[in-house]
Structure 1
Amino acid sequence: MIPRHPFPTGNAEAGLAFLEESAQAWLGRLEGRSTALGEALSSTFIVAQARCLMDPRGAIYPTWDAWVTAMQVGSAVFAAATTTETHVRCRIAHEDRTLEATGPQPYVTPASWLTAFYLAAVCRERDRITALCRVPLSLLRENGAVSQEFEYAWIDALQTYWLGGPDLGQKLVAAIDGTDPETASDPETVGKLFYPPMEMLHRIIRGDHAGFTRALTAALQWHQEYWTQEGRSELIPGLVALAPLAMTCFAHDAGIPIEVESDYVPAVLVTRNWCGEFPT
């Protein structure tokens, strides 16, 4: 068991209510202004993570509902960015919504793609994962934001893994090589948050059960170390290790035993108990 770092819970209910109100406000703007998708993704994902503060196993329906909503928004970001039509129909928070095409936007980045992919993986949304894996890397370079090359290499590897494309090994090695602390602009973040899921995927591909357990353990320990640093320990994104959670879901579905328990990877999300509960 790798425990989650201490996190204050005194105002959890009031804080969650505020976050949910903010998220609902952004969702309400989407049909009138689809470029609000960036803020909608940030706010709904924060709610999904915050739900796990008091429900660390992801065992209750409102937690699953929040994760599905964030997943739907993440996928909608890229559906709106890639559509060749003037509008695209997306289901978000139990409603079918008509969104305007957006094309490249400042929030259409490698980081938002990875968030959308990981959320879709956790929710086992195969069609949405496939759609995300068909997003061209060139689109992610059109927003003008500065991203590191290893992020594009990692996305390329994930797309190749899911679609069964060629040269997966070479692409994964390229992504891992890009996290070298000697060349990374932020070695701590890259080493503790970006590299671990790459090693986890490597073990999944090899069918290495023991190696996966070691990689998952290391990923959670590094996540814990990163988020217990001063100035980070009370930030909501530290509550769940999203990338390791997504890789753990892939491993579970591939028949690899999950032998490490931690509130950083909510157990009920891993075992997909809520999948199919309602139309998504």
Structure 2
Amino acid sequence: MISSAAGTASVPEAVELVIGPRRRPLGGLEVNRVWPTARRRMVGPFIFFDHLLPAELEPGRGVDVPPHPHIGLATVTYLFEGEMLHRDSIGCEQIIRPGELNWMTAGSGIVHSERSTAEQRARQSQIHGIQSWVALPREHELCAPSFVHYPADRLPIIERVDARLKLIAGTAFGASADVATLSELFCVEADLAAGALLALGSELGERAAYVVGGSIEVEEVGYESGKLLVFRAGGEIGIRAQTATKLMLFGGAPLDGERHIWWNFVSSSADRIEAAKHDWKARLFPAVPGDDDYMPLPE
């Protein structure tokens, strides 16, 4: 009989940490903010993970995340359903659709907004996706900000009898994505048929799995949607799908030291974060062309 990791059930030897759902409002919708946590700051270079929960949007309703700043990180935005319009302070404007990737490197500082398009607001629509953050290596923390959009056909797909793996960034499962990153990492969308067994090798470095939908088991312990599993270092990890399941797999080589994280800022320097807080409050960050709204600094 398969036990559940909820409540007092035992945690498998291969699992270092299990993080449950933590729902937060964002831009008029709801996200499951599973990362960061005080119990562990990073998996590889990944330091933040939001699951934009599936939502039905009635006409006139949409996603509205107003202009807000970032430093010291790259945002990884990927949709399963719907579309959003990205605008940023270096002048990029890009609609992202399912299966595509927006990779924005904040570096020394960037401001961006994420909103539903006018076409999407005019009709009933859906939205569902993820956004994660990758902390930048020290030598690149103050690099010039940049933005790159990758269409779906540039992201490799690994087809198996009982699984479909889409490599969003990095190297995994014998494939490499044509996505420019500044550190060794992997990010994979995995769709598994019921009963499928997926192995995560130790060559991937630090490893985590988020259950977007469905349920899995690791060493005969079950985990349902909304759970993030961080695995122990070394050895092969076996993940079995109890039902048809969608996972996000991510991690990579450990970064070069700890990072401070506060609101939308990531840095190896606490002083740099304090400076960014001051600059945002004083309106010293660049503006987003076409979107003059403002997200206040948290008090």
Using the size of structure 1 for normalisation, the TM-score is 0.24
Q: Which has the higher helix share?
A: 1
